[in-house]
A = this chain, B = another copy of it.
Amino acid sequence: MKTKDSIYPRRLPGVRFNLSDDVFFIIRKKIMTREIRPGDRMNIDSLSRDLNVSQTPIREALARLEETGLVIKEPLKGFRASQLLNAKEAQDLFNFRSVLEPYAAKIAAEFSTKEQIEQMYKEIDFAKEIQNLSGIEAFEKLAEHDENIHTQIFEAAGNALLTKAYKASHCFLHLYRLHFIRDVPVDFEETMTEHAAIISALEMGDSHEAFSAMAQHIDNARNRFQYPAI
């Protein structure tokens, strides 16, 4: 077991870092990308050997992931990646979002700065390149763009508790989404149009319009997941 093979140098003098945090994000990414799939057992020893770190940071990372709900722990059996959402839980998720997000959009319309609006338009410009892509890559990029826009709106609303609740729900949406890899072009057009409508409302400071545009967007998203293609 060579220390130099670790994901990080043993200890960089003067540089603050935190192995547990890094391990946390690495493992979460493995789950989000389905390298670790729902229901998979997550062996502490194996993870420790794979990432070439001791068991302690692995345990801390898994404990945090358990708190988020992405992994579950069975005493004396170990950790497993949690199961995907069933139909009822998915509906609950969309209901949850349809409560949080329109409100966030409303508040964002009142408080978002010019810089924040500018950043949102930039994000939309970046995303326009997605139409040149196809397949799983296009799908992933669109999902990433969607997360970025929504996160920006929540942050513009400026309520940390609200943002945290959104982020907690988002990882489940992402995993659920992977069940329904659809033909992107149709979704792409619709999603982009809806996002543009929301941000336009934010820019004008029209909180009522922002609210209903977001409500419509979530509702449409729910329907897009309703009829899975591919």
Contact = CB atoms under 8 A, between A and B. Distances in A.
Given A17-B75, A60-B59, A68-B67, A168 B164 contact: yes
Contacts of A75: 16-18
A73 B24 CA distance: 14
A226 interface: no
Interface in A15-70: 16-18, 20, 56, 59-61, 63-64, 66-69
A73 B64 CA distance: 13
B96 A99 contact: no
A95 interface: yes
Contacts of A76: 16
A230 interface: no
Interface residues of A, number: 36
Interface in A89-111: 89, 92-93, 95-96, 99-100, 103, 107
A6 interface: no
A133 interface: no
A165 interface: yes
A66 B63 CA distance: 10
Contact of A64 (B18, B20, B66): B66
Contacts of A158: 92
Contacts of A87: none
Contacts of A18: 73, 75
B99 A164 contact: no
Interface in A119-173: 158-162, 164-165, 168-169, 172
A69 B164 contact: yes
B16 A96 contact: no
A113 B107 CA distance: 35
Contacts of A172: 161
A104 to B, nearest CB: 9
A129 to B, nearest CB: 33
Interface of A: 16-18, 20, 56, 59-61, 63-64, 66-69, 73, 75-76, 89, 92-93, 95-96, 99-100, 103, 107, 158-162, 164-165, 168-169, 172
